[in-house]
Amino acid sequence: MDDLKFCYKCETAKERAEFNKKTRSKDGLQDECKTCKNVFRVAYYKKHSDKERIACKAWQDAHPDKSAAIGGKSLAIKRGGSASDIYDIELCIPFYAEARRLSRETGIPHHVDHIIPIAKGGLHCQTNLQVITATENIKKGDSYVCQT
């Protein structure tokens, strides 16, 4: 049966079609079958993405304010808003840092709010942000609050 090839991984003889090509090998095929290759790839991918997730989490833990600022922007965009031309993450970070600090120190959850709500066409940028308590934020809802 010379059209069967032995896969050293699953230790099964399989059709040659079950193996990927590998030009530099003796028989022109890889040593492990497609199924084994896939299992390996899935495992590798999973391990890899876990690693990335852990690295990402570590980065977030090390940069909580910046990661909150990034999260705030993507949330605003997800809600149909957009970032202003003058948006500068470095200038937005202090709002998120302040909200986190106030939440921590007062025990009252604070939010970074859009002065002109996203739903009212407000843009996501440092000049349209303010720190208010979660209760105020919920009470405010989508209503326009003039800050002047």
The residues binding Zn ion (CB under 5 A) are: 7, 9-10, 33, 36
Q: Smallest distance from the beta carbon of 6 to Zn ion, in angstroms?
A: 9
Which amino acid makes up residue 88? D
Q: Which is nearer to Zn ion, 19 or 96 (CB)?
A: 19
Q: Smallest distance from the beta carbon of 122 to Zn ion, in angstroms?
A: 57
Q: Which is nearer to Zn ion, 9 or 100 (CB)?
A: 9
As a whole number of angstroms, the distance between CA 79 and CA 132 comes to 19
Q: Which is nearer to Zn ion, 29 or 76 (CB)?
A: 29
Q: Smallest distance from the beta carbon of 20 to Zn ion, in angstroms?
A: 11
As a whole number of angstroms, the distance between CA 100 and CA 111 comes to 8
Q: Smallest distance from the beta carbon of 8 to Zn ion, in angstroms?
A: 8
114 burial via Cβ count (<10 Å: 0-12, 13-18, 19+) = buried
List of residues 6+ apart from 58 with CB closer than 8 A = none
